[in-house]
């Protein structure tokens, strides 16, 4: 392929980055409009804790594909926003467990409802079979990049 044949608009990376940025911006805006003190990055941690409360920061880093320093900063900000709390590990003094705060648990249904509504708006007019194909292709892209 000649470099003259390259088009940014036909680049997988460009389209993925653009759609990801637009969806992230939309979700962050939606959370703000509803007075919810959370970002999309924090959302990914909240989802993991709703599924399995009391994870270590290392567990959260692995589950969210983020590095340790990023997760530590996210947790610090989430503590300030009363979304989670750090609790010393009962047997390992070097480790903390991250638990949802009562407020973090309380907003679960509202957040999930807002995310589902936003995703429905995002996929409006797209046939469900096409979405299945899209997810399948993206799963393969992810596997190829691992």
The model's pLDDT over 127-144, given as tens digits with 9 standing for 90+, comes to 999 999 999 999 999 999
Q: In a 3-state reduction of DSSP, which class is residue 126?
A: coil
Burial of 74 (0-12, 13-18, 19+ CB in 10 A): buried
- Mind listing the pLDDT tens digit for each residue in 8-34? 777 888 999 999 999 999 999 999 999
What distance in Å separates the CA atoms of residue 124 and residue 145, rounded to the nearest whole number?
A: 29
pLDDT of res. 143: 94
pLDDT tens-digit series, residues 69-97: 999 999 999 999 999 999 998 888 888 99
The answer to whether 85 and 124 are in contact (CB under 8 A) is: no
* pLDDT tens digits along 30-51: 999 999 999 999 999 999 999 9
H helix intervals, the chain: 12-33, 40-51, 57-64, 68-80, 102-106, 108-122, 128-145
Q: How confident is the model at residue 146 (pLDDT cuts 50, 70, 90)?
A: confident
């Amino acid at each position: 392929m000649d470099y003259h044949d390259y088009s940014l608009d036909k680049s997988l990376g460009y389209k993925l980055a653009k759609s990801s940025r637009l969806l992230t911006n939309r979700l962050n805006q939606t959370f703000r409009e509803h007075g919810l003190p959370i970002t999309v990055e924090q959302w990914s941690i909240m989802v993991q804790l709703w599924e399995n409360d009391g994870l270590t920061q290392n567990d959260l880093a692995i589950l969210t594909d983020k590095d340790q320093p990023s997760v530590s900063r996210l947790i610090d900000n989430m503590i300030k926003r009363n979304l989670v709390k750090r609790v010393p590990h009962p047997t390992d003094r070097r480790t903390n467990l991250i638990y949802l705060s009562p407020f973090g648990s309380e907003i679960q249904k509202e957040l999930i409802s807002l995310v589902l509504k936003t995703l429905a708006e995002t996929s409006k007019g797209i046939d469900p079979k096409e979405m299945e194909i899209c997810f399948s292709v993206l799963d393969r892209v992810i596997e190829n990049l691992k």
